[in-house]
Chains A and B, each alone.
Chain A
Amino acid sequence: TVGRSFLCRPVVPYSSVSNAMRRSLSSASPMSGSDASAEPNTDKLFTAEHEAMRSTLRRIIEQDINPYVDEWEAKEIFPAKQLFKKLGNAGLLGVTRPVEYGGLGLDYSYSVALAEEYGRVNCGGVPMAIGVQSDMATPALARFGSHELKEQFLRPSIAGDLVACLGVSEPTAGSDVASIKTTARRDGDDLVINGSKMWITSGMQADWMCLLANTEASVKDPYLSKSLICLPLDLPGVQRARKIRKIGMHSSDTAQLFFENVRVPASYLIGEPGQGFIYQMLQFQEERLFGAAANLLGLELIIQETAEYARQRKAFGQSLLDFQTVHFRLAELLTEVELLRSMVYRATAKYVAGNDVTMLASMAKLKAGRLVREVTDSCLQYWGGMGFTDEVRVSRFYRDGRLLSIGAGADEVMLSIICKYMRTLPKPPKK
Chain B
Amino acid sequence: YIHIINKADMAASKGLKILVGCKRVIDYAVKVRVKPDRSGVVTEGVKHSMNPFDEIAVEEAVRMKEKKLAGEAVAISVGPPQSQETLRTALAMGIDRAIHVEIPLAQLEKLQPIHVSKLLAKVCESEKPDLVILGKQAIDDDCNQTGQMLAALLDWPQATFASKIEPSQDSKQLRVTREVDGGLETIDVSVPAVVTSDLRLNEPRYATLPNIMKAKKKPLAKMSPDQLGVDLQPRQEVISVEDPPVRKAGAKVESVEDLVGKLREKGLVK
Residues of A within 8 A of B (CB): 13-18, 20-21, 26-28, 33-40, 48-49, 51-53, 55-56, 59-60, 89-92, 95, 104, 106
Q: Which of B125-142 contact A (CB under 8 A)?
A: 139, 142
Docked-complex contact B31 and A52, CB < 8 angstroms:
no
Name the residue of chain B whose CB is nearest to the CB of A93.
B209
Provide the bound-state CA to CA distance between A91 and B205, in Å: 14
The 8 A CB mask of B72-94 against A (1 = contact, 0 = none) is 00000000000001001100100
- Asked if B46 CB lies within 8 Å of chain A CBs, one says yes
Given the known inter-chain contacts A17-B139, A18-B199, A20-B199, please indicate yes or no for A91 contacting B208, CB distance below 8 A. Answer: yes
Provide the bound-state CA to CA distance between A403 and B139, in Å: 43
Docked-complex contact A55 and B206, CB < 8 angstroms:
yes
Q: Which of B14-54 contact A (CB under 8 A)?
A: 26-33, 42, 45-47, 49, 52
Q: Which of B210-218, B221-229, B251-259 contacts A (4 or more CB under 8 A)?
A: B210-218
Q: Specify which of A14, A26, A37, A53 is in contact with B46 (CB 8 Å cutoff).
A: A37
Provide the bound-state CA to CA distance between A49 and B89, in Å: 9
Docked-complex contact B29 and A15, CB < 8 angstroms:
yes
Could you say which residues of chain A place their CB within 8 Å of the CB of B139?
16-17
Docked-complex contact A104 and B213, CB < 8 angstroms:
yes
Docked-complex contact B29 and A28, CB < 8 angstroms:
yes
Name the residue of chain A whose CB is nearest to the CB of B142.
A16
Could you say which residues of chain B place their CB within 8 Å of the CB of A27?
29-31
Q: Could you list 15 A-B pairs, sorted by A, with CB under 8 Å?
A: A16-B32, A16-B142, A26-B29, A27-B31, A28-B47, A34-B45, A36-B32, A49-B212, A52-B207, A55-B89, A56-B206, A56-B208, A56-B212, A91-B208, A104-B213
Provide the bound-state CA to CA distance between A39 and B85, in Å: 15
Docked-complex contact A90 and B206, CB < 8 angstroms:
yes
Q: Specify which of A17, A21, A38, A60 is in contact with B47 (CB 8 Å cutoff).
A: A38
**Residue from B28, B85, B92 whose CB has the most chain A CB atoms within 10 Å:** B28
Chain B nearest CB, measured from A218 CB (Å): 45
Could you say which residues of chain B place their CB within 8 Å of the CB of A51?
85
Q: Specify which of A13, A40, A48, A56 is in contact with B28 (CB 8 Å cutoff).
A: A13
Name the residue of chain B whose CB is nearest to the CB of A95.
B209
Could you say which residues of chain B place their CB within 8 Å of the CB of A13?
28-31
Provide the bound-state CA to CA distance between A236 and B208, in Å: 38
Docked-complex contact A53 and B52, CB < 8 angstroms:
no
- How many residues on chain B are close to A (CB under 8 Å)? 32
Docked-complex contact A60 and B29, CB < 8 angstroms:
no
**Residue from A26, A49, A52 whose CB has the most chain B CB atoms within 10 Å:** A52
Could you say which residues of chain A place their CB within 8 Å of the CB of B215?
52
Chain A nearest CB, measured from B207 CB (Å): 5
Docked-complex contact B45 and A39, CB < 8 angstroms:
yes
Name the residue of chain A whose CB is nearest to the CB of B33.
A34
Supplied contacts A21-B28, A37-B46, 12 more A-B pairs, CB within 8 Å: A20-B199, A27-B29, A36-B31, A37-B29, A38-B47, A51-B85, A52-B88, A55-B89, A56-B208, A59-B206, A90-B208, A92-B209
Chain B nearest CB, measured from A35 CB (Å): 6
Docked-complex contact B212 and A21, CB < 8 angstroms:
no
Q: Specify which of B45, B209, B211, B216 is in contact with A33 (CB 8 Å cutoff).
A: B45
Chain B nearest CB, measured from A300 CB (Å): 15
Provide the bound-state CA to CA distance between A89 and B85, in Å: 23
The 8 A CB mask of B142-157 against A (1 = contact, 0 = none) is 1000000000000000
Docked-complex contact A48 and B199, CB < 8 angstroms:
no
Docked-complex contact B29 and A90, CB < 8 angstroms:
no
Provide the bound-state CA to CA distance between A106 and B210, in Å: 10
10 A-B pairs closest in CB distance: A91-B209, A37-B47, A13-B29, A59-B206, A36-B46, A56-B206, A36-B30, A52-B212, A14-B31, A91-B210
Chain A nearest CB, measured from B75 CB (Å): 15
Chain B nearest CB, measured from A51 CB (Å): 8
Could you say which residues of chain B place their CB within 8 Å of the CB of A16?
28, 32, 139, 142
Chain B nearest CB, measured from A314 CB (Å): 16
Name the residue of chain A whose CB is nearest to the CB of B211.
A91
Docked-complex contact A17 and B28, CB < 8 angstroms:
yes
Docked-complex contact A104 and B209, CB < 8 angstroms:
yes
Name the residue of chain B whose CB is nearest to the CB of A50.
B212
Docked-complex contact B49 and A49, CB < 8 angstroms:
no
Given the known inter-chain contacts A28-B47, A52-B88, please indicate yes or no for A37 contacting B30, CB distance below 8 A. Answer: yes
Chain A nearest CB, measured from B156 CB (Å): 28
